[in-house]
Structure 1
Amino acid sequence: MKYQSRKKAIILLADGTVFHGKSVGDKEGTAFGEVCFNTGMTGYQEIFTDPSYFGQLMVTTNAHIGNYGTQAQEVESDSVKIAGLICKNFSYDYSRAIADKSLEAFLEDHALFAISDVDTRALVSYIRDHGAMNAVISTDVENLEDLKRRLAQVPSMEGLELASKVSVQNPYSVGEEGAAIKIAALDIGIKKNILRNLEKRGAHIKVFPYNAHFKDMEAWNPDAYFISNGPGDPEPLFDAINAAKEMIASGKPVFGICLGHQVIALANGVGTYKMHHGHRGINHPVLNLLTGKGEITSQNHGFAVKREEAESHPDLEVTHIHLNDGTLAGMKMKNRDVFSVQYHPEASPGPHDADYLFDDFFKMIEKNKAGAVPV
């Protein structure tokens, strides 16, 4: 063992339940957030840097974390976004040839507090039974009452606007200027691999802040609009919802992923709700109702669109259903070139079953540019 005197640590849940562990390394620390879990066997670096996880304490269900180190290109944003890490076995050494540093060094670079030696099976089982809730991880194990007091002051994820914490502050461009297709992307927590997927298909993308006005996006004269993934509750995103309404009214194609999917629903008057413990992993089964085929997908969300309201909406068609619990996983508008999914077709790592959604988006853009009637 690299560290012989690691600190005792605890996980204190909002309902008073306590789980025990040890600090990663010999660090002391405390971190607050909503505790949730991801079932992916790989992809911890992408998870930790995904803006959708902002403000959350991440429990990794895979037994070993850190065994293949980290690599500079395998990030979804420019910084770690989770509030803290909880794992079973933390690997201080790594064995991947292309890795450039250990996970321990990566976490130190980003000042992220982590604890290990936790019975993550018991913790995940508890979250599944009792739901995602706020929690604190800390080495300050002797001051439980003070931790309880501080934890009680942490706001609930329900009703919490977090897009402003992760969005770009000023517009920027990705891809070659002069490309045949221009896409205006609303950044409410966008992942880098989404931009890579749009760029590699030949698009020039201009990324706008979470509170951008539609008129500023439209002034760039894009061929289509994209609304990104992101953290927090979608309902407080008034600027994004209003922008989505105008995107839809413009008649140009619109594609939304995850939080963007929820924003499109709200723009159509369809409600959203906080899930019991959410979907987070890279093996979630989805049924494509348009093709009858099953798809394995990467998912990361704690909120969802109300399926009954979408099904009864005259202008919406449900296109995808999550096979584990029947929640709405995708929809499209009947009278517009607008569609969205609750999961992540840009999965990396993860299944590529949903890659076709980016291709569908580009086909839709080309037809719209050519003046074709929306299908």
Structure 2
Amino acid sequence: MKSFLILEDGTVFEGQNVGSTQDVISEIVFNTSMTGYLEVLTDPSYAGQAVVMTYPLIGNYGITPDMESKKPWPMGYVVRELSRIPSNFRSEGTIQDFLQKNNIHGITGIDTRALTKILREKGTMNGLFTVNENYNLDEIIPKLKEYHTGDVVSKVTCKEKSILKGNGKKVALLDLGAKKNIAKSLNERGCEVVIYPAHTTAEEILNSNPDGIMLSNGPGDPKDCKTIIEEIKKLYNSDIPIFAICLGHQLMALATGADTHKMKYGHRGGNHPVKDLATGRVYISSQNHGYVVDTDTLDEKIAKPAFVNVNDGTNEGLSYVGKNIFTVQFHPEACPGPQDSSYLFDRFIDMMGGEK
């Protein structure tokens, strides 16, 4: 069956449909990872978006148990070629079946290189997935321009508190759309992780007397999280060590008076070099974000840049002055390189006073 991806600039791509046949409008972004497509599909940070995979062949090792959440979140999925027969002893099925089962509109057989070039040159834009060959651009384009992802954090966060048992430090994890591996990375270091829904009050978290607080990754525009930012202000004013990742990093910056802005096309992939400004060491990082902290708006008495993106010079982390708080834009719980940044979890453990 034919399927079409229509961009808000009027560009139309024609391919073959896989998965759902329902019409879907979403923000179109691209990811440069060569592997890890299942982690991409199940990353809550993609809620409200559709993902274009730049690597030309996707699905060769099938669907494995390596999911970052209980369900996939992208509204659409675009690839050049899907592997018809996956080869992996851990495979539990094909991407085609996975997209169909989870009602995600997928397109294969289009020129993803050309599509990515458009998004790089013109910036991220919205698009419509449809199997209707009689589409009307004059009707569709105004709808595309009106689309906004909105409050997607409320859609992806957990519904109730849960606990991952451990014998070490007690960490309160605010789930803004947390990838499973964040709690796992803490738990592997002995921590008891108490996972809270995104709209939990600061008072409830602080009254539980945690040794540390983790603010997770998540989707959408950080400025849409107004009530959460107010609660994070209260967490900042406590003396409890805080470690924040991705959206959590942006929200802590907003809570302390800095600003964020939308990037032209964002950072999404497993190959982004970031430099630790304290040591000069460069790490290969996994990233998924479309917004960035504006370092020109930082109050140097409150926070200082701690990491920088080697490719474009954008901020990748902050260290807070006089506070046991540090935040990063990238994903230290992922493993994109041989010297990846999981040591940041060890730094967080040290901030909490080390092992009990």
**Shorter-chain TM-score category?**
over 0.9
2:131 paired residue number = 139
1:38 paired residue number = 31
Give runs of aligned pairs for residues 204-223 of structure 1, distance below 5 A: 204-223=192-211
SS in 2 for 1:325: coil
% identical equivalent positions: 38
SS in 1 for 2:29: strand
Asked if structure 1 preserves the Cα contact closer than 8 Å seen for 2:27 and 2:127, the reply is yes
1:240 is the counterpart of 2:231: no
Pick the aligned partner of 1:171 from 158, 161, 164.
161
Give runs of aligned pairs for residues 16-35 of structure 1, distance below 5 A: 16-24=10-18, 28-35=21-28
Deviation at residue 320 of structure 1 after TM alignment: 0.4
Distance 1:92 1:175, change over 3 A: farther
Inter-partner Cα distance in structure 2 for 1:210 and 1:228: 9
SS in 2 for 1:361: helix
- The residue type equivalent to 2:154 in the other structure is S
SS in 1 for 2:14: strand
1:308 paired residue number = 296
Deviation at residue 180 of structure 1 after TM alignment: 2.5
Deviation track 1:37-77 (CA, whole Å, cap 9, x = no partner) reads 000000111101100000111100011111110112x1111
Asked if structure 2 preserves the Cα contact closer than 8 Å seen for 1:282 and 1:351, the reply is no
Deviation track 1:139-185 (CA, whole Å, cap 9, x = no partner) reads 1121234761673375234xx32110100111111133xx2310111
1:263 paired residue number = 251
SS in 2 for 1:36: strand
Asked if structure 1 preserves the Cα contact closer than 8 Å seen for 2:25 and 2:144, the reply is no
Pick the aligned partner of 2:316 from 322, 325, 329.
329
SS in 2 for 1:24: strand
Distance 1:65 1:144, change over 3 A: farther
1:296 is the counterpart of 2:266: no
Deviation track 1:311-348 (CA, whole Å, cap 9, x = no partner) reads x4312111100011110001111100000000000115
Deviation at residue 349 of structure 1 after TM alignment: 5.7
Inter-partner Cα distance in structure 1 for 2:136 and 2:326: 48
Asked if structure 2 preserves the Cα contact closer than 8 Å seen for 1:245 and 1:267, the reply is yes
Question: Please, what TM-score do these two structures have when normalized by structure 2?
Answer: 0.96
Inter-partner Cα distance in structure 2 for 1:349 and 1:323: 16
1:199 paired residue number = 187
SS in 1 for 2:352: helix
Which aligned runs of 4 or more in structure 1 are off by greater than 3 angstroms? Answer: 149-154, 348-352
Asked if structure 2 preserves the Cα contact closer than 8 Å seen for 1:92 and 1:103, the reply is no
Question: Please, what TM-score do these two structures have when normalized by structure 1?
Answer: 0.91
Structure 1 unaligned blocks of 5 or more: 1-6, 371-375
Question: What is the Cα-based RMSD across aligned positions, in Å?
Answer: 1.8
Give runs of aligned pairs for residues 98-113 of structure 1, distance below 5 A: 98-113=90-105
- The residue type equivalent to 1:270 in the other structure is A
- The residue type equivalent to 2:5 in the other structure is I
Asked if structure 2 preserves the Cα contact closer than 8 Å seen for 1:316 and 1:331, the reply is yes
Structure 2 unaligned blocks of 5 or more: none
SS in 1 for 2:237: helix
2:241 paired residue number = 253
1:357 is the counterpart of 2:344: yes
Asked if structure 2 preserves the Cα contact closer than 8 Å seen for 1:167 and 1:187, the reply is yes
SS in 1 for 2:85: coil
1:88 is the counterpart of 2:80: yes
Inter-partner Cα distance in structure 2 for 1:246 and 1:199: 26
Task: State how many pairs are aligned.
Answer: 356
1:58 is the counterpart of 2:51: yes
2:41 paired residue number = 48
1:10 paired residue number = 4
